């Protein structure tokens, strides 16, 4: 037959309380062990009053170290060398030149070498330019009377300036006529024709002598 237990005799109901109580006791014992302090009962010794005043400091002078002495300088050893034997030679100088104080030196004049001009040389720039008969006004009058406007250029409406280059010989005749810049339409050929048939010019001069000179002249074609 199973024995019956009374509710008051059941200790399992109070196990939580006993656990908390034991935990509190152990924690309290641990804290007491850390906080517990013990002191010796020995009497204190009287060390007396300290009379030293550390605020008063003595000025200690700075000792200066003298610089080290310089190293000894070795003096070079001077050896006496006997003087060399001087050799005297007698040199006889015989001046046989008779100098006269009244000798006059003539001044040397360097003349410029004459400039040789080639007969066939053609100058582009000369001291005196060639001139047509009657000057430039006579030249314009010659062109007005002899220059003919080409039919092709008139029909095509071509007008402008033809630049002609030619050579004026020493006798004033004209040769090597050519067009430096043309406008076409027959104007170039007409400019060459009128220059080739022009009367003789006054030749250009270099240092007063007639020379062959290259000329450039504009000839204008304008429709009226």
Kindly report, residue by residue over 80-98, the tens digit of the pLDDT: 665 555 545 555 655 454 5
| Residue 55: C-alpha distances to residues 48, 58, 80, 91 (Å) | 19, 10, 74, 100
Residue 198 lies inside a defined structural domain of this protein: yes
> What gap in Å lies between CA 129 and CA 115, rounded to an integer?
20
Residue 200 lies inside a defined structural domain of this protein: yes
Residue 181 lies inside a defined structural domain of this protein: yes
Helix (H, G, I), strand (E, B) or coil at 218: strand
Structure confidence at residue 9 (pLDDT): 59
Region of residue 134 (left: phi > 0; alpha: psi -120 to 50; beta: else): left
Helix (H, G, I), strand (E, B) or coil at 7: helix
Instruction: Give the residue ranges of the chain where pLDDT is below 50.
Output: 87, 95, 97, 99
Structure confidence at residue 192 (pLDDT): 95
Listed in sequence order, the residues at least 6 apart from 191 whose beta carbon sits closer than 8 Å to its beta carbon are: 147, 162, 164, 179, 182, 219
Structure confidence at residue 87 (pLDDT): 47
Listed in sequence order, the residues at least 6 apart from 170 whose beta carbon sits closer than 8 Å to its beta carbon are: 203, 210, 211, 212
> What gap in Å lies between CA 139 and CA 58, rounded to an integer?
124
Residue 16 lies inside a defined structural domain of this protein: no
Q: Cβ(170)–Cβ(211) under 8 Å? A: yes
Q: Cβ(217)–Cβ(132) under 8 Å? A: no
Structure confidence at residue 71 (pLDDT): 77
Residue 65 lies inside a defined structural domain of this protein: no
Domain count for the chain? 1
The string of pLDDT tens digits covering residues 143-157 is 999 999 999 999 999
The CATH code of the domain that includes 181 is 3.30.1150.10
Phi, psi of 21 (to 5 degrees): -65, -40
Phi, psi of 64 (to 5 degrees): -95, 125
Residue 103 lies inside a defined structural domain of this protein: no
Q: Which residues constitute the domain of residue 214?
A: 122-221
Residue 6 lies inside a defined structural domain of this protein: no
DSSP 66-99: PPPPPPPPPPPPP---PPPPP-------------
R_g of the chain, CA atoms, integer Å = 69
Residue 82 lies inside a defined structural domain of this protein: no
């Amino acid at each position: 037959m199973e024995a019956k237990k009374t509710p008051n005799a059941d200790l399992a109901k109070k196990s939580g309380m006993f656990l908390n109580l034991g935990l509190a006791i152990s924690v309290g014992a641990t804290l007491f062990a850390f906080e517990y302090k013990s002191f010796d009962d020995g009497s204190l010794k009287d060390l007396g009053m300290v009379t030293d005043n550390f605020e008063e400091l003595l000025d200690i002078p700075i000792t200066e170290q003298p610089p080290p002495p310089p190293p000894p300088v070795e003096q070079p050893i001077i050896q006496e060398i006997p003087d060399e034997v001087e050799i005297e030679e007698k040199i006889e100088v015989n001046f046989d030149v008779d100098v006269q104080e009244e000798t006059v030196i003539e001044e040397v004049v360097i003349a410029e070498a004459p400039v040789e001009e080639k007969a066939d040389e053609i100058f582009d720039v000369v001291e005196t330019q060639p001139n047509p008969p009657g000057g430039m006004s006579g030249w314009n009058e010659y062109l007005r009377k002899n220059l003919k406007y080409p039919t092709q250029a008139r029909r095509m409406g071509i007008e402008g300036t033809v630049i002609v280059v030619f050579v004026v010989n020493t006798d004033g005749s004209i040769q090597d006529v050519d067009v430096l810049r043309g406008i076409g339409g027959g104007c170039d050929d007409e400019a060459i024709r009128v220059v080739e048939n022009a009367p003789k010019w006054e030749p250009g001069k270099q240092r007063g002598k007639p020379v062959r000179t290259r000329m450039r002249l504009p000839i204008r074609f304008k429709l009226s």
